């Protein structure tokens, strides 16, 4: 076990300020394809694309590394406030080409939260430049995650995440998700949206949401009726619709952008993770021509930005990522292979008492757990069911990412399953097998721990 000890860092023993102080951090030292290796030499299948769904093309790709190297040699960095560079110009062009129709303008940032914040700023700029300065407030689903900065944290309705930073955040408005448990038709969410619009007459700038949710509600997307109702209300009330496609953008759901697969066209899209595929820190905000026109015909200024926005090195990586996705037909592969992956996952979990649902689009899948005593309630949070699934899976050489109840009331234990697009059929089958063995193990441990419910 000496090796295993080496592979794990007890956070207090390092100079890194950890995210979770009680967690023991495994040290990963190399990666190749869909495999990563820890310091003891143990290998893990990466069913989470680097843990955060960013490494969509797997690890150690020599072609992307070579593109980064070539770009760094030519020109690694210039700032884009007063200068531009071919990599930024070409990447904006490439993104506009693969984006849904009408998305003609692109602005680069360095990550997901920055992209979302930039989207909020662009929406605000749009209204101010059109002579509606009262519009600032955002309506968004409560069960969501848009980033850890103050402006993006304010977009979620999850008090557990926001505490103790509420003082730094503006008051936005939230609506509940339309899940099977609360509102399968989407009507209640629409009513909540109406109430929010009434509560802030003439002050709503944007409706902000993940078109298909990531960690907050894995692979959930509202029903068609909700999207149709949202589009009607946009036409009536004049707010913009912003999609957080930080995870779903650049192929994850089997479309270049998830927006293409929904019965609604947003006005602004923010994207990040898959654009750099884990090889560069890059994000982007795309907007439709009418949003651009409002600023072009108004203040004609948008000078707020970050040092690394549109830098040649990260844009050079983005260009190669798009090239690989196109040449290897990976977006199409995810679209075609995704439904079978979901079936394989559902099949392998059949009959497991805690599994209620396997959802998914493309290579963004989610497994939702429930209390086996009634097949629908959330599991008691103190059991840490989903967290235990991750621990057992890790022992079994598989990287997964689960979320646990935040006591916000809208979601319970659940696991994300989001492998790299380059995973072979055999690798996907192995991931599914290791995952189902882990979930079955946790379910049987749990069944012995759960007290029978009293008969009423
Ligand atoms: C849906 C979604 N939006 C935004 C973010 C924030 O992105 P970043 O961590 O790059 O700031 C994340 C990160 O996980 C995310 O999943």
210 CB within 6 A, ligand 1 = yes
pLDDT at 149 over 90: yes
Which residue's CA is the closest to the ligand 1 atom numbered 7? 112
Per DSSP, helices labelled H in 328-455 are 330-348, 385-395, 425-449
pLDDT at 405 over 80: no
246 CB within 6 A, ligand 1 = yes
Q: Residue 15: CB partners within 8 Å, gap ≥ 6?
A: none
Which residue's CA is the closest to the ligand 1 atom numbered 9? 112
What's the pLDDT score for residue 18? 86
Mutational test site, ligand 1, from 51, 111, 113, max ligand atoms within 8 Å of CB: 113
pLDDT at 295 over 80: yes
Q: Residue 124: CB partners within 8 Å, gap ≥ 6?
A: 135, 136, 205
What's the pLDDT score for residue 1? 35
What's the pLDDT score for residue 452? 81
User: What is the overall mean pLDDT for the chain?
Assistant: 95
pLDDT at 4 over 50: no
Mean pLDDT of 228-250: 98
What's the pLDDT score for residue 371? 95
Comparing 10-24, 394-408, 421-435, which segment has the lowest mean pLDDT? 10-24
Comparing CA positions, the residue from 139, 161, 142 lying closest to residue 208 is: 139
Which residue's CA is the closest to the ligand 1 atom numbered 10? 112
What's the pLDDT score for residue 96? 98
pTM greater than 0.75 (yes/no)? yes
Mean pLDDT of 292-305: 94
Mean pLDDT of 365-385: 95
CA of 329 to the centre of ligand 1 (A): 25
Residue-wise pLDDT for 30-82, tens only, equals 999 999 999 999 999 999 999 999 999 999 999 999 999 999 999 999 999 99
pLDDT at 184 over 70: yes
pLDDT over 90 for what percent of the chain? 89
Mean pLDDT of 189-217: 97
211 CB within 6 A, ligand 1 = no
Residue-wise pLDDT for 87-131, tens only, equals 999 999 999 999 999 999 999 999 999 999 999 999 999 999 999
222 CB within 6 A, ligand 1 = no
The 3-class SS string of 237-295 reads HCCEEEEEECCCCCCCCCCCCHHHHCCCCCCEEEECHHHHCCCCCCEEEEEEHHHHHHH
- How many angstroms separate the CA atoms of 7 and 83, rounded? 45
């Amino acid at each position: 076990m000496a090796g295993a000890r080496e592979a794990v860092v007890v956070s207090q023993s390092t100079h890194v300020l950890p995210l979770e102080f009680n967690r023991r951090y495994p040290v990963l030292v190399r990666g190749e394809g869909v495999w990563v290796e820890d310091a003891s030499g143990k290998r893990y299948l990466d069913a989470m694309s680097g843990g955060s769904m960013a490494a969509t093309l797997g690890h150690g790709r020599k072609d992307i590394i070579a593109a980064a190297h070539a770009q760094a040699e030519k020109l690694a960095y210039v700032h884009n406030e007063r200068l531009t560079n071919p990599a930024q110009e070409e990447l904006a062009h490439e993104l506009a080409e693969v984006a849904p129709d009408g998305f003609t303008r692109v602005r680069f940032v360095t990550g997901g939260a920055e992209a979302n914040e930039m989207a909020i700023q662009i929406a605000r700029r749009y209204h101010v430049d059109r002579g509606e300065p009262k519009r600032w407030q955002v309506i968004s689903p409560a069960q969501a995650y848009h980033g850890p900065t103050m402006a993006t944290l304010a977009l979620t309705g999850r008090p557990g995440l926001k505490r103790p930073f509420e003082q730094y955040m503006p008051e936005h408005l939230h609506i509940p998700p339309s899940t099977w448990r609360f509102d399968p038709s989407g009507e209640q969410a629409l009513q909540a949206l109406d109430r929010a619009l009434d509560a802030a007459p003439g002050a709503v700038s944007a409706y902000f949401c993940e078109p298909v949710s990531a960690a907050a509600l894995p692979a959930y997307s509202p029903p068609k009726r909700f999207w149709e109702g949202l589009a009607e209300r946009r036409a009536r009330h004049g707010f913009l619709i912003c999609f957080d496609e930080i995870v779903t953008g650049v192929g994850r759901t089997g479309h270049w952008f998830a927006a293409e697969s929904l019965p609604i066209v947003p006005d602004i899209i923010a994207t990040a993770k898959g654009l750099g595929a884990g090889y560069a820190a890059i994000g982007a905000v795309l907007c439709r021509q009418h949003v651009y026109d409002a600023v072009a015909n108004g203040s004609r200024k948008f000078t707020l930005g970050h040092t690394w926005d549109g830098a040649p090195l990260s844009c050079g990586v983005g260009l190669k990522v798009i090239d690989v996705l196109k040449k290897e037909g990976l977006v199409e592969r995810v679209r075609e292979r995704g439904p079978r992956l979901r079936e394989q996952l559902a099949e392998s979990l059949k009959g497991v008492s805690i599994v209620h649902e396997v959802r998914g689009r493309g290579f963004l899948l989610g497994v939702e757990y429930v209390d086996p005593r009634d097949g629908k309630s959330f599991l008691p949070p103190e059991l840490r069911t989903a967290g235990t699934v991750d621990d057992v899976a890790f022992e079994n050489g598989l990287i997964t990412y689960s979320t646990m109840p935040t006591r916000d009331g809208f979601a319970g234990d659940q696991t994300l399953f989001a492998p790299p697009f380059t995973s072979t059929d055999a690798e996907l089958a192995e991931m599914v097998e290791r995952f189902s063995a882990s979930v079955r193990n946790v379910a049987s441990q749990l069944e012995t721990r759960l007290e029978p419910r009293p008969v009423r």
